[in-house]
């Protein structure tokens, strides 16, 4: 379908593409963030957000406000937008939108299993789950003792079933195995998502290959950083990396044997797309890496909207809205804790 999208795309998907571009135009801009940084209390933040797309979601929230309340209401805006688009999507777009939410499902599964391991209340854990990643049997995750039971009792009827069935073990669920499970599932999910986008072809395949390659490479980087000093072997580490991306395969070979941050940096800087990110990072500033990666992701997602007739704008909108919610959470926490001098340290500007 390469080159022919403009002839056929609008027949089924033109309306929803217009809708998502309208949602994107409602994202907060730099002047909006400048206003938020001047706020003295959470009620002031609510007042500033009243003029944005979040206005109707915050209008009935009474004082005293909490950061969690603001974040929940802002997240509900994304969920409502997403569900409305999902209800009107045709088959191929609906499946694409579902793929975008599978990552939240994986995070919810890990959250419930980890919380159960620490004997947390199941209802409390369910309240913390992302609404886009919910499924009918999620509450029964608490009964599983190992991954095979997790699959057989709960996940066999969910979209995550194919990813679990490939990676089942009899090992009990402890802290280490849960993290390995999360990353193994994400690997299978990202490989599957990339394969589906490739079958769609055209501009969608082109745009999404770039966005998913970045996501796969960022996960490889985070896996390497988090596994330094643990009992995870080099071979085990390498098995958790996705089978595509700009780092695949030579960068993965170097990351799998990296023992410290400088070796990781050397491996990443060999890829021109990531050299610029690490050039902004002074030596000894590893804690700033997350923000730089978020900035790179935002730049790539914003660039998606420069092209038309493709599904990448839906994925990009989700990522941009989630980053905006993280920004609002950061500003709210800084205001609530009287740390206004640190507000600009954590904001990733979208436009």
283 to each of 125, 260, 261, 295, how far by Cα in Å? 38, 13, 10, 19
Phi, psi angle pair for 286, to nearest 5°: -60, -30
Please write down the HEC assignment for all residues of 237-285.
HHHCCCCCCCCCCHHHHHHHCCCCHHHHHHHHHCCHHHHHHHHCCCCCC
Residue pair 202/5 in contact (Cβ under 8 Å)? The answer is: yes
The pLDDT assigned to 91 comes to 94
* 174 Cβ contact list (under 8 Å, min separation 6): 117
Residue pair 251/264 in contact (Cβ under 8 Å)? The answer is: no
Residue 336 C-alpha from the chain's centroid: 26
- Cis amide leading into 234 (omega within 30): no
* 120 Cβ contact list (under 8 Å, min separation 6): none
Q: Which structure tokens are listed for 169? A: 């073990």
Q: What is the torsion angle, in degrees rounded to the nearest 10, for the CA atoms of residue 254, residue 259, residue 265 and residue 268?
A: 20
Residue pair 224/248 in contact (Cβ under 8 Å)? The answer is: no
72 to each of 100, 115, 322, how far by Cα in Å? 20, 20, 12
Residue appearing with tokens 């854990």: 125
The pLDDT assigned to 231 comes to 85
The pLDDT assigned to 199 comes to 96
Burial pattern 82-109, b for ≥16 Cβ within 10 A else e, equals: beebbeebeeebeebbebbbbbbbbbbb
Residue pair 324/54 in contact (Cβ under 8 Å)? The answer is: no
The pLDDT assigned to 1 comes to 46
Helices (H), 38-90: 42-49, 55-58, 67-88
Phi, psi angle pair for 174, to nearest 5°: -115, 180
pLDDT tens for the chain, 351 residues: list them: 455 667 788 899 999 999 999 999 999 999 999 999 999 999 999 999 999 999 999 999 988 999 999 999 999 999 999 999 999 999 999 999 999 999 999 999 999 888 888 888 888 999 999 999 998 888 888 777 777 778 887 788 889 889 887 666 656 677 778 888 899 999 999 999 999 999 998 899 999 999 999 999 999 999 999 998 888 888 999 999 999 999 999 999 999 999 999 999 999 999 999 999 998 887 666 678 999 999 999 999 999 999 999 999 999 999 999 999 999 999 999 999 999 999 999 999 987
Residue pair 175/117 in contact (Cβ under 8 Å)? The answer is: yes
Helices (H) and strands (E) in the chain, counts: 19, 0
DSSP-based three-state secondary structure for 55: helix
The pLDDT assigned to 172 comes to 64
Residue appearing with tokens 């620490």: 118
């Amino acid at each position: 379908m390469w080159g022919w999208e403009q002839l056929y795309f609008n027949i089924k998907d033109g309306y929803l593409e217009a809708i998502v571009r309208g949602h994107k135009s409602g994202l907060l801009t730099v002047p909006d963030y400048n206003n938020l940084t001047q706020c003295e209390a959470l009620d002031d933040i609510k007042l500033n957000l009243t003029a944005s797309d979040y206005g109707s979601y915050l209008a009935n929230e009474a004082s005293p406000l909490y950061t969690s309340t603001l974040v929940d209401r802002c997240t509900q805006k994304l969920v409502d937008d997403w569900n409305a688009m999902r209800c009107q999507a045709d088959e191929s777009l609906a499946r694409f939108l579902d793929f975008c939410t599978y990552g939240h499902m994986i995070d919810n599964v890990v959250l419930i299993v980890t919380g159960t391991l620490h004997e947390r209340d199941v209802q409390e854990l369910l309240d913390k789950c992302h609404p886009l990643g919910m499924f009918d049997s999620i509450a029964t995750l608490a009964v599983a003792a190992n991954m095979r039971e997790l699959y057989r009792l709960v996940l066999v009827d969910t979209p995550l079933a194919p990813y679990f069935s490939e990676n089942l073990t009899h090992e009990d669920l402890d802290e280490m195995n849960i993290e390995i499970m999360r990353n193994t599932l994400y690997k299978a999910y990202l490989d599957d998502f990339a394969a589906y986008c490739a079958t769609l072809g055209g501009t969608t395949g082109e745009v999404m290959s770039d966005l998913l390659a970045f996501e796969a490479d960022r996960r490889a980087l985070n896996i390497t950083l988090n596994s330094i000093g643990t009992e995870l072997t080099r071979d085990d580490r390498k098995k958790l990396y996705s089978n595509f991306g700009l780092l695949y395969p030579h960068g993965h070979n170097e990351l799998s044997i990296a023992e410290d941050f400088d070796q990781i940096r050397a491996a990443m800087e060999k890829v021109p797309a990531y050299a610029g990110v690490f050039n902004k990072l002074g030596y000894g500033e590893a804690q700033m890496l997350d923000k730089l990666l978020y900035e790179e992701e935002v730049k790539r997602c914003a660039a998606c909207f420069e092209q038309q007739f493709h599904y990448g704008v839906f994925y990009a909108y989700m990522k941009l809205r989630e980053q905006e919610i993280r920004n609002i959470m950061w500003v709210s926490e800084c205001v609530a804790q009287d740390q206004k001098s640190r507000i600009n340290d954590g904001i990733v500007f979208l436009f």
